């Protein structure tokens, strides 16, 4: 009953000063809105990263050279070549949980077609690679295991290469010859467009040729490979497959039990965790910047409430003279602060969602608006109202009615 009356009293005073109420609310609206929008962007990019890492193939296992120790001096990761072609063959022959394995050699190469030339990446892989990464040709066809055995002078190219060598992404270069570091290769297919990956790399700026072709004709028959990519038979077998591969490679590299691995086995989930945590840090950063504006909004409430207490000293005096207890005045001012922050929080959520949608539409950034972020900013803003409303309300409640009535 009494609390209902106090809510009525608080709402009446807020209503009497609409402009001041709205301006005070604005701080909270902007604060909550930016927290919602920032979290939406952060979580959106997080999910996007996870999705694009998953698009590399969820069962994929990467084996890259690790660190080695030379004369007691440890080298950095992947500084030396420690993985050999026969490692890939051993994995293929001996690992039960792995269905596809492909060694990968890669290098930058100048590509020439007619009067055009372009610097791109050439990747030498087995046909398994295409299966692991589920690559297929948009035009023409892919190469076969036979092409690899015969080191056939064929290649697949990405649309960026097509665009740069043939003038348009829509050109059909299948059957044409390009020269890669003066080795002529016949284009057998154009890869499906993959676009940029999450890390901003253009995945279409690529030439894929059979492993033997690149190894023998472009890399002078090196036995070392840049990496090995394998895939586990199923998702639950990934960690077992990783153990299996690790054991086999340790045997193959004749490592003693006390030696560290001279290679690193990574899975997509590792990768997605790594980038996921990067984006999580980013999200926290964005959200904490946004919550500063929420804090500033809260201080705005306190500021206005303090001014309001001074301005309404006589009113408080009258209220006390006619029977308001200190507690009643305290509650009234607290309710005013909470109503401002609560209503501001509600409007802020709407504004935040609206702004996120606008960003998604015009900037093309992925957004995810989670219930969590809405609840968080909502609770946070109401708590701010409580916190910053307390001091001014306390001040109002502790006024002496005689002095308050005399206040000019």
Report the interface residues with another protein, using CB under 8 A: 1-2, 5-6, 8-9, 12, 16-17, 314-315, 317-328, 401-402, 405
**Alpha helices (H) in 145-260, listed in sequence order:** 145-149, 159-166, 211-212, 238-252
Least Å from the CB of residue 318 to another protein: 5
| Rounded CA separation 154/139 (Å) | 14
Least Å from the CB of residue 388 to another protein: 25
Least Å from the CB of residue 29 to another protein: 24
Tokens linked to 89: 């063959």
Closest CA to 295 of 21, 22, 31, 20: 31
β partners of residue 10: none
| Rounded CA separation 219/79 (Å) | 18
Least Å from the CB of residue 316 to another protein: 10
Q: Considering beta carbons, is residue 387 or 407 the nearer one to another protein?
A: 407
| CA-to-CA dists, residue 177 to 76, 149, 186, angstroms | 40, 20, 4
Least Å from the CB of residue 364 to another protein: 49
Least Å from the CB of residue 340 to another protein: 18
| Rounded CA separation 27/114 (Å) | 62
Q: Considering beta carbons, is residue 61 or 340 the nearer one to another protein?
A: 340
Q: Considering beta carbons, is residue 186 or 325 the nearer one to another protein?
A: 325
Q: Considering beta carbons, is residue 9 or 64 the nearer one to another protein?
A: 9
Angle formed at CA 370 by CA 367 and CA 374, multiple of 5 degrees? 115
Closest CA to 157 of 191, 131, 183, 125: 191
**Alpha helices (H) in 195-237, listed in sequence order:** 211-212
| Rounded CA separation 157/147 (Å) | 16
Least Å from the CB of residue 302 to another protein: 23
Q: Considering beta carbons, is residue 314 or 361 the nearer one to another protein?
A: 314
Q: Considering beta carbons, is residue 4 or 257 the nearer one to another protein?
A: 4
β partners of residue 73: 70
Q: Considering beta carbons, is residue 140 or 326 the nearer one to another protein?
A: 326
């Amino acid at each position: 009953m009494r609390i209902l009356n106090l809510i009525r009293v608080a709402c009446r005073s807020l209503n009497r000063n609409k402009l001041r109420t709205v301006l005070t609310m604005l701080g909270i609206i902007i604060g909550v809105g930016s927290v919602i929008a920032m979290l939406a962007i952060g979580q959106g990019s997080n999910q996007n990263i996870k999705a694009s890492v998953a698009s590399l193939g969820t069962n994929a296992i990467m084996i890259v050279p690790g660190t080695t120790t030379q004369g007691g001096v440890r080298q950095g990761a992947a500084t030396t070549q420690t993985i050999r072609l026969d490692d890939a063959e051993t994995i293929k022959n001996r690992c039960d949980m792995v269905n596809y394995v492909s060694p990968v050699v890669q290098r930058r190469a100048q590509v020439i077609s007619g009067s055009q030339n372009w610097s791109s990446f050439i990747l030498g892989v087995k046909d398994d690679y295409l299966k692991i990464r589920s690559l297929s040709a948009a035009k023409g066809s892919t190469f076969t295991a036979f092409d690899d055995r015969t080191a056939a002078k064929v290649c697949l190219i990405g649309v960026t290469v097509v665009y740069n060598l043939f003038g348009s992404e829509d050109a059909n270069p299948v059957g044409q010859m390009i020269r890669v570091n003066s080795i002529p290769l016949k284009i057998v297919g154009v890869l499906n467009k993959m676009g940029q990956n999450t890390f901003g790399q253009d995945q279409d700026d690529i030439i894929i040729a059979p492993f033997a072709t690149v190894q023998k004709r472009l890399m002078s028959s090196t036995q070392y490979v840049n990496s090995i990519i394998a895939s586990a038979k199923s998702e639950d077998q990934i960690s077992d497959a990783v153990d299996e591969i690790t054991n086999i490679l340790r045997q193959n590299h004749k490592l003693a039990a006390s030696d560290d691995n001279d290679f690193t086995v990574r899975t997509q989930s590792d990768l997605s965790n790594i980038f996921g945590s990067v984006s999580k840090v980013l999200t926290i950063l964005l959200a904490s910047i946004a919550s500063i504006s929420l804090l500033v909004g809260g201080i705005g409430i306190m500021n206005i409430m303090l001014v309001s207490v001074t301005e309404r000293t006589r009113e408080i005096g009258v209220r006390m003279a006619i029977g308001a207890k200190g507690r009643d005045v305290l509650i009234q001012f607290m309710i005013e602060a909470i109503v401002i922050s609560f209503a501001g929080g509600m409007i802020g959520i709407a504004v935040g969602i609206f702004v996120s949608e606008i960003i998604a539409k015009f900037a093309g950034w992925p957004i995810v608006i989670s219930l969590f972020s809405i609840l968080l900013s909502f609770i946070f803003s109401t708590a701010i109202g409580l916190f910053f409303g307390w001091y001014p309300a306390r001040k109002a409640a502790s006024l002496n009615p005689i002095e308050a009535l005399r206040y000019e």
